[in-house]
């Protein structure tokens, strides 16, 4: 099922790229072929979904949804569900049409319970408040990944998706990697997929300044990816090549040129992209801590100095006192100004690059070495949203029908428009990037430790980078007992 979802996503992506490619005979042929293939993929997906043939007589179905006008990121101007009217924005209009299709098919009225705030902490807090008050106001809720543990591990807060017979959890519009990670025995209390636009924003990757690369004779990144040779060493080599103190004042700052833009707390994402798993599952589906091994030690010894090397790395967190958001106010302008070769961030950054004059593409995060089997994509828990059902919901069968219908029409309407918008507005501009996107999406990883942060293990690992320390063994030993205790406690709570 996972591969079917990826294939559908990428075929639509490829067809849209072809549609933007020009008008000669070769392009027209490619466009026609891609369109025909996409039609086949969509038809296959349609065969998964059967209209339930129900009439809920105008019943109101309410979803707690993130909705703010306060945040400067263009991605945050959207919600997962809310689209009150068509306004000319392609993604908003696709969401509106999806909502109308669901309302018409099921004879329901979709409403949202909006929660704002720049921090994105308030979705979980408001859902907790509603549950504790016993208020049956929302039928489902979106909660950001970094906050969902506050409700996931509380006994009696959430319903089990596996108890809902009307949901097709094997369908391609539900993210099967996330379902596998979030399933404990027979318990599954959160899902994500096409229904969550914010999860589409969350994959971690490299934006690649092709103009700067061409200037320095770097023309093989795509081929290196295809050959399985896109590695950390190659990234480091290219970063060394392009970095330069442009103003000659012997101080590397935002006036100079860098190989990469990142932040030191990305250490955890680099470890995951290199094949490290914080946890594993035992034979009974329980969680075991699996971080302490030779691979992790070796990676920490390589990555921590890299993340702290201010000669090649524009380190966002060193500028927190100068900028309210150094990613937006400093690194994005530097990237568009050909001062950064690789921008290590989430795919949502593509919205901010629509007006960029320099050409660019995307690349998966590099392997640690050529022996690593796959390119691996960590997901940003700051942007991933998970769908949950509060225990106050008293109509689970109807809920299953509505959520599956929303998931299906999101896949058919919203996801393609997200891709189209990303391409048409000069965000991902070359056909190679379609292939790279397929690689990025092929192995998305949701590490359960990123969601629960057992005993502060993610923070502890990232602190190695922020303190410029490679002493993993000592730090791990200091928290191992607390982490294992928290894992045991969490499993006990989930089982209740």
* More confident: 34 or 306: 306
- Take residue 43 and report the two structure tokens written for it: 């038809």
Q: Say what the pLDDT of residue 15 is.
A: 44
pLDDT tens digits for range 17-71:
444 433 443 343 434 444 444 445 455 556 789 999 999 999 999 999 998 877 8
Q: Say what the pLDDT of residue 16 is.
A: 42
Q: Say what the pLDDT of residue 418 is.
A: 86
Which of 412, 401, 494 minimizes the C-alpha distance to 53? 401
Q: Listing from the earlier edge strand, what are the strands of the sheet with 360-363?
A: 313-315, 258-262, 340-346, 204-209, 360-363
pLDDT category at 6 given cuts 50, 70, 90 is: low
pLDDT tens digits for range 390-440:
999 999 999 999 999 999 999 999 998 987 776 555 445 567 887 888 899
- Take residue 116 and report the two structure tokens written for it: 């704002």
Single pTM value for the model:
0.89
Q: How buried is 401 (Cβ within 10 angstroms: 0-12 exposed, 13-18 middle, 19+ buried)?
A: buried
Q: CA–CA distance from 79 to each of 20, 53, 101, 339, 387 (Å)? A: 27, 28, 18, 33, 13
- Cβ atoms 10, 441 nearer than 8 A: yes
Q: Say what the pLDDT of residue 8 is.
A: 52
- Take residue 336 and report the two structure tokens written for it: 């568009």
Proportion of the chain above pLDDT 70, given as a percent: 89
The arithmetic mean of pLDDT across residues 235-249, rounded, is 97
Proportion of the chain above pLDDT 90, given as a percent: 75
Sign, Cα dihedral of 445, 451, 453, 458: positive
* More confident: 5 or 495: 495
- Find residue 149's DSSP bridge partners: none
H or E stretch including 42?
helix 25-48
Residue recorded with tokens 């979904």: 49
* More confident: 403 or 153: 403
Q: Say what the pLDDT of residue 218 is.
A: 95
- Take residue 95 and report the two structure tokens written for it: 């969401």
Q: CA 316 from chain center: how many Å?
A: 20
pLDDT of residue 464 exceeding 80, the answer is: yes
Give the DSSP per-residue string, 412-456. IIIHHHHHHHHHHTTSS-SHHHHHHHHHHHHTEE--HHHHH-GGG
């Amino acid at each position: 099922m996972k591969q079917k979802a990826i294939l559908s996503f990428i075929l639509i992506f490829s067809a849209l790229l072809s549609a933007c490619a020009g008008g000669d005979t070769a392009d027209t042929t490619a466009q026609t072929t891609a369109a025909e293939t996409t039609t086949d993929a969509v038809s296959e997906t349609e065969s998964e979904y059967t209209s339930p043939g129900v009439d809920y007589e105008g019943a109101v179905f309410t979803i707690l949804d993130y909705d703010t006008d306060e945040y400067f990121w263009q991605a945050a101007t959207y919600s997962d569900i809310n689209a009150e009217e068509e306004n000319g924005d392609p993604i908003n209009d696709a969401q509106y049409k999806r909502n109308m299709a669901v309302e018409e098919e099921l004879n329901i009225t979709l409403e949202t319970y909006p929660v704002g705030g720049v921090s994105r902490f308030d979705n979980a807090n408001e859902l907790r408040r509603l549950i504790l008050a016993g208020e049956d106001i929302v039928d489902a809720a979106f909660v950001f990944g970094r906050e969902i543990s506050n409700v996931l591990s509380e006994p009696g807060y959430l319903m089990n998706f596996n108890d809902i017979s009307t949901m097709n959890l094997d369908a391609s519009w539900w993210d099967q990697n996330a379902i596998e990670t979030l399933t404990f025995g027979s318990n599954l209390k959160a899902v994500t997929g096409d229904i969550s636009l914010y999860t589409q924003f969350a994959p971690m990757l490299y934006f690649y300044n092709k103009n700067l690369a061409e200037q320095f004779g770097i023309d093989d990144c795509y081929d290196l990816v295809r050959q399985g040779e896109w590695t950390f060493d190659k990234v480091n080599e290219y970063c060394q090549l392009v970095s330069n103190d442009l103003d000659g004042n012997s101080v590397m700052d935002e006036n100079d040129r860098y190989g990469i833009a990142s932040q030191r707390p990305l250490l955890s994402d680099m470890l995951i992209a290199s094949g490290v798993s914080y946890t594993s599952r035992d034979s009974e589906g329980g969680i075991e801590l699996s971080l302490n091994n030779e691979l992790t030690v070796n990676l920490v010894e390589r990555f921590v100095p890299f993340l702290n090397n201010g000669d090649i790395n524009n380190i966002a967190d060193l500028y927190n006192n100068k900028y309210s958001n150094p990613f937006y106010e400093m690194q994005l302008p530097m990237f568009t100004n050909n001062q950064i070769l690789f921008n290590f961030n989430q795919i949502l950054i593509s919205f901010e690059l629509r007006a960029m004059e320099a050409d660019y593409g995307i690349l998966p995060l590099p392997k640690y070495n050529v022996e690593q089997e796959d390119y691996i994509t960590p997901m940003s828990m700051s942007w991933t949203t998970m769908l949950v059902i509060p225990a106050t919901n008293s109509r689970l069968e109807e809920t299953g029908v509505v959520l599956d219908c929303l998931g299906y029409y999101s896949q058919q309407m919203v996801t393609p428009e997200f891709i189209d918008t990303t391409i048409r507005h000069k965000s991902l501009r070359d056909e190679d990037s379609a292939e790279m996107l397929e690689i990025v999406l092929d192995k998305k990883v949701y590490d359960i430790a990123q969601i629960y942060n057992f005993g502060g293990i993610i923070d502890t690992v990232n602190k190695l980078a922020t303190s410029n320390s490679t002493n993993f063994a000592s730090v791990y030993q200091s928290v191992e007992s607390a982490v294992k205790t928290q894992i045991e406690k969490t499993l006990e709570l989930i089982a209740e």
